[in-house]
Structure 1
Amino acid sequence: MKIHHLAQNNSVLNTFLSEIRDQKIQKDSMRFRRNIERIGEILAYELSKSLSFHEGFVETPLATKNMHLLSDAIVVCSILRAGLPLHQGLLNYFDKAENAFISAYRHHPNNDEHFDIVVEYVASPNLEGKIMLLADPMLATGQSLVAVFEALRKLGNPKETHIVSVIGAQEGIRFVEKHFPENTHLWIATIDDQLNEKGYIVPGLGDAGDLAFGSKL
């Protein structure tokens, strides 16, 4: 898997990352969603440089101009519900992309720290031969991404798979590397060192779904 770690180079991305981590600023759910969306836009721009383009022509009021235009058919697939603001950021740049949505959540059968990943809902176009952007803002254990990828296999074989995340943990990235195809790309804003005993990223930012949309039962 090829890892593209954007925070290794200083940019305005660091401002958005600092705000989604800041427990005072992140209490503004609208601002939190917008910052995740803006991070998605930055990730989309960087990702676009790796895609295929073809030569096209545009008629301006004065002349014909040759341009290089995106060739690949793209499907943006988000893991509900936390992935929705990130999905919107990607869609802002890939406005002709098809869309897929899939649910995945942690189920604690014994009410302890052990959990299974449950996938219940899938709405997706055919993925055969397309570029799949799999959006999940928090790459913690990596188990959700692997479960979702397995569930999507029956919908076609993508030309390429690109995982798009905001914050990841080293452990989760290693887990994903073992279960995704070798030619997978990971586009991630920043990487933290560890997980806590409950499988949450440290220092991370908390629960992205709750911060974006409110706490759940």
Structure 2
Amino acid sequence: MSNLPPNVHVSQHPCLLAKLSQLRSQNTPSRDVKGLIHDISLIVACEALAKGLESVKGPTDQTPLGFDYQTHTILPGTISLVPILRSGLGMVDAMQTLLPNPVPVHHLGLYREPTTLHPVEYYNNLPNHLAGSGSAGAVASDLTIILDPVIATGGTCAAAIQTLREWGTQRIIVLSVLGAAPGVRAAAAEWPEGVEIWLAGVDEELTDHGMIKPGLGDVGDRLFLTIGK
């Protein structure tokens, strides 16, 4: 594997590597694709949040038998999930399962222009996402978690990072299933001091059309049965 920046982390979890192999197969049906994306996201998120969150003591509570115990909560205090449409939606349930409390889910719609492969934003529902606009009470989350199953050229991920940085978030964790080494490096360089990228795997090459080789195909198409659209 090519040398990757220090803010990029690639899991070596044996179960995750086996599930990634299953996900790559052209014979894996859509129902199983959905389950594998969920499972892989959960494993990657466990590793990422073990490093990216802090446990702090909360108030004393009681068990059903009346015994006192020390509660714990997590920091930072404000966290948002930002799935990149469409395929990022497949990772949301895993994150909501893992986090101890509900958090806001904001959506970013980005696609690659077919000729230039440059990212184009078509949807953004971040509250008050431009300085000086929106509701006066809306503030950016301390930590924003980008959910983007595939980092190919890195342009979409870098654009999302730039948008969230302009929004005012203090820190970003990117969770991804698979990346291409050149694209991962490009995304990691967008804001090195504020971004950590966690992936299940990294491939070395991209095709001329910006697809990861060998990759796992178009995740959105596989999730939503729109192959050949």
The answer, yes or no, to whether TM exceeds 0.5 is yes
Pick one of 71, 74, 78 that aligns with 2:83: 78
* 3-state SS, counterpart of residue 83 of structure 1: helix
Residue number in structure 2 paired with 1:20: 23
Match of 1:105 in 2: 111
TM-score (normalised: structure 2): 0.84
Aligned pair count reads 208
- Aligned 8 A contact 1:167 1:192 in 2: yes
Q: Which residue of structure 2 lines up, in the alignment, with residue 91 of structure 1?
A: 96
Give unpaired runs (5+ residues) of structure 2. 1-5, 128-137
Q: Which residue of 2 aligns with 1:131?
A: 143
Does the 8 Å contact 1:76/1:91 carry over to 2? no
4+ aligned runs moved over 3 Å, structure 1? none
Change (3 A) 1:207 1:99: same
Residues 42-65 of structure 1: per-residue CA shift (max 9 Å, x gap): 122112212122112331023111
Q: 1:6 aligns with which of 11, 28, 33?
A: 11
176-185 or 70-79: which moved more?
A: 176-185
2:7 and 2:192 in contact (8 A); partners too = no
The TM-score, its normalising length taken from structure 1, stands at 0.88
**Superposition RMSD in Å:** 1.8
8 Å CA contact retained: 1:2, 1:185:
yes
| Aligned-residue identity in percent | 28
**1:64 and 2:65 aligned:** no
More displaced stretch, 137-146 vs 122-131: 122-131
**Is 1:178 matched with 2:189?**
yes
Supply the distance in 2 between the matched residues of 1:83 and 1:120 (Cα, whole angstroms): 15
Cα distance in 2 between the residues matched to 1:78 and 1:127: 19
5+ residue gaps, structure 1, are none
Partners of 2:117 and 2:75 lie apart in 1 by 41
Go from structure 1 to structure 2 and tell me whether the alpha carbon gap of 1:129 and 1:123 turns closer, same or farther (over 3 Å shift): closer
